Amino acid sequence: MGMESKIKRNPNVAVFCRNHENLLKQAVAISVSDPSEKITFREGKAWKSAKLAVDTHGPRPISFY
């Protein structure tokens, strides 16, 4: 079973990523002022799996390491 099928079948999916502390602080500031605001990380790289999960199941938790 491919990643796309797994994401579509399992509503208990989250997004895991790594990022720099300064970018996380900026994201927190944006989220505090408007929790529904979409925040772009590493915009040069498509997050196809994350987008599919959000499109299929709605907002997903994101864990940064």
**Predicted confidence (pLDDT) per residue in 4-59, tens digit:** 898 899 888 888 777 678 888 888 899 999 988 888 766 677 778 888 999 999 99
pLDDT for position 24:
80
pLDDT for position 32:
94
Return the half-sphere exposure (C-beta side, CA atoms, 13 A cut-off) of residue 38.
7
pLDDT for position 42:
65
Beta strand 15-17 with 62-64: parallel, antiparallel or unpaired? parallel
